[in-house]
Amino acid sequence: MGPRGKIFLNPDADWHLFLGDDSAIAAILAMLEAIPGGQAGMAYLEVHAPEDEVAFAGGHSLTWLYRGEIPAWSSNLLAEAMNSAELPAGRGHVYTFGEVQVVNAVQRAALASGLANEQVSPKAYWGRGKANANNGEPEKERA
């Protein structure tokens, strides 16, 4: 079902770091484009392969991560990206979107890097093996 507008850019941040899977591409690119002048923006987007990339010319750093045949819920690429990210000076904010357990792993990595809880905005769009029927997604038919 995608984003529902419950996470907004932190207006007090000097920089913004976004991490998300395929389900977060539209939200992250829109948020990158909305960053006010003078604030840095960086993003790590995880997709299956290079052909899943989306064109972006927003002037901020965008790194595509390729998980190949690994299921999105089993990938640790986003948590690794958070662990290895070189965070700029100043007060920043991290936004992470995707599968619930992956989002939790990225959130733990952000907090372990020294960021305070209020500097991290996690949003799980989906959970492995869980239908989203109450939000319009039909359940899979069982054979």
Buried/exposed 97-116: b ≥16 CB within 10 Å, e otherwise: bbbbebbebbbebbeebebe
- The answer to whether position 139 is within a domain reads no
- The answer to whether position 21 is within a domain reads yes
Alpha-carbon span 139 to 35, nearest angstrom:
37
- The answer to whether position 118 is within a domain reads yes
Strand partners, 16: 41, 93
- The answer to whether position 8 is within a domain reads no
As given in the structure block, the two tokens for residue 76 are 């640790």
* pLDDT tens-place string over residues 11-66: 999 999 999 999 899 999 999 999 988 899 999 999 999 999 999 887 899 999 99
Alpha-carbon span 103 to 105, nearest angstrom:
5
Position 17 scores a pLDDT of 96
Position 92 scores a pLDDT of 95
- The answer to whether position 136 is within a domain reads no
Position 72 scores a pLDDT of 86
Residue 70, domain CATH: 3.40.50.80
* pLDDT tens-place string over residues 78-121: 999 999 999 999 999 999 999 999 999 999 999 999 999 999 99
Position 138 scores a pLDDT of 53
Q: How many domains is the chain built from? A: 1
- The answer to whether position 141 is within a domain reads no
The residue among 133 and 85 whose pLDDT is bigger is 85
Tell me the residue range of the domain where 44 lies. Answer: 15-129
